[in-house]
Amino acid sequence: MIISLLRWPLSAVLVWALAWSIFILMVRFGVSMMISLGFACVFSVMASVLGQTWWRRLMIALGFVLSLTLSGIALLPAWVWLLPLLILLLIYPINAWRDAPLFPTPAGALQELASHAPLPEGATILDAGCGLGHGLEALRSAYPLAQYYGLEFSWPLRVLCSLRCPWANIKQSDIWRETWSGYSMVYLFQRPESMARAVAKARTELQPGAWLVSLEFEATELQAHAVLKSPCGRKVWVYRQPLA
C-alpha cells in the first residue's frame, strides 16, 4: 500500500496534501503565515526525493506554492516563488548536478554483499554521496561490525544524515576531491555518466584488496568480481582492486 502511494503521480499529490496540512495547522495554531509557508516549502522540497527525474522533483517541490497562489487564500509577494527554489539549491547544489540525483538505497538491497565481498571486523566503509543515509543503513545491515563514513556535498542532507546515522562519521565534502585511499570498501549509487570517473579514482586511490561497490550501474570497462541481484530487482556490481 505504501509503495503504491509513492508511485507517480500519487507521490506528488501526497506531498502537496501534506504540505497543505502543515501550512493550515501552523496558521491555525497562531504561527505567522510566512513562517508556516517556509515550513511547508521545506517539507515539499525535502519530499521531492520521491521524484525519479528532475522535472518530477521540481513539480513536487513547487506544487504547493503554485496551488496556494491559485487558491487565493493568501496574497503572496513575487519573491515567494524563490523560496522553494533556494531550498532546492541547498539540497541539490548546482555543482553536484553532474552526479547522481538524491535517490535512496532500497532497504535490503545489499543484504547478500558480505558473502561475496567479505570484510574483517572494524573495516572502514565509505558511502560516497550518502544523501540521507539509506545506503549507510543498508551497508550496516550487511557489515554490523564495520566503521562507517559518508561524504555528502549538500549541507542540509549532511545534517539530516548525521541525525539518522549517529554511528557514522559524516562529512560535508565533494566525493571527487576527498581521497578514497583509507577505506576497505567504497559504495556508490551514482549514474552511468559518473562511473568512468569513479573507476579512474578507484584505480588510483584504493588499496590492493579494497572493494568498489556500485548499485544499479555497471563500470563497463571493468570485469566484475560478482554481480548480485537485490530483492528490489536492482543489480549490485562488485569490483576488487586491482581493478581488471
Same-domain check for residues 123 and 45: no
Percent of the chain with pLDDT over 90: 43
Number of structural domains in the chain? 2
Is residue 100 predicted with pLDDT exceeding 60? no
Query: Between residues 213 and 84, which one has the greater pLDDT?
Result: 213
Considering the domain architecture, whether residues 81 and 36 belong to the same structural domain is answered as yes
Query: Does residue 145 share a domain with residue 30?
Result: no
As separate numbers, helices (DSSP H) first and strands (DSSP E) second, the chain gives: 9, 7
Whether residues 86 and 117 fall in one domain:
no
Q: Which domain holds residue 187?
A: 113-240
Residue 235 and residue 125 share a domain: yes
31 and 62 share a domain?
A: yes
Would strands 211-215 and 168-172 be described as parallel, antiparallel, or unpaired?
unpaired
Classify residue 80 by its DSSP letter.
Answer: G
Identify whether residues 64 and 144 lie together within a single domain: no
Is position 212 within any domain? yes
Torsion of CA 221, 222, 224, 228, to 10 degrees: -40
Residues 121, 87 within the same domain: no
* pLDDT at residue 2, rounded to an integer: 42
Q: Give the per-residue pLDDT at 20.
A: 87
- Pick the range with the lowest mean pLDDT from 38-42, 70-74, 199-203, 236-240: 70-74
Looking at the structure, do residues 87 and 126 belong to the same domain, yes or no? no
Residue 99 lies in a domain: no
- 54 in the same domain as 173: no
Tell me how far apart the alpha carbons of residues 36 and 22 are, in angstroms, rounded to a whole number. 7
Please give the pLDDT value at position 75: 56
* pTM over the 0.85 mark: no
34 lies in the same domain as 71:
yes
| Contact between residue 188 and residue 176 where contact means Cβ atoms under 8 Å apart | no
Yes or no: say if 87 and 153 are a contact pair by the CB < 8 Å rule.
no
What is the model's pLDDT at position 4?
A: 46
86 shares a domain with 127:
no
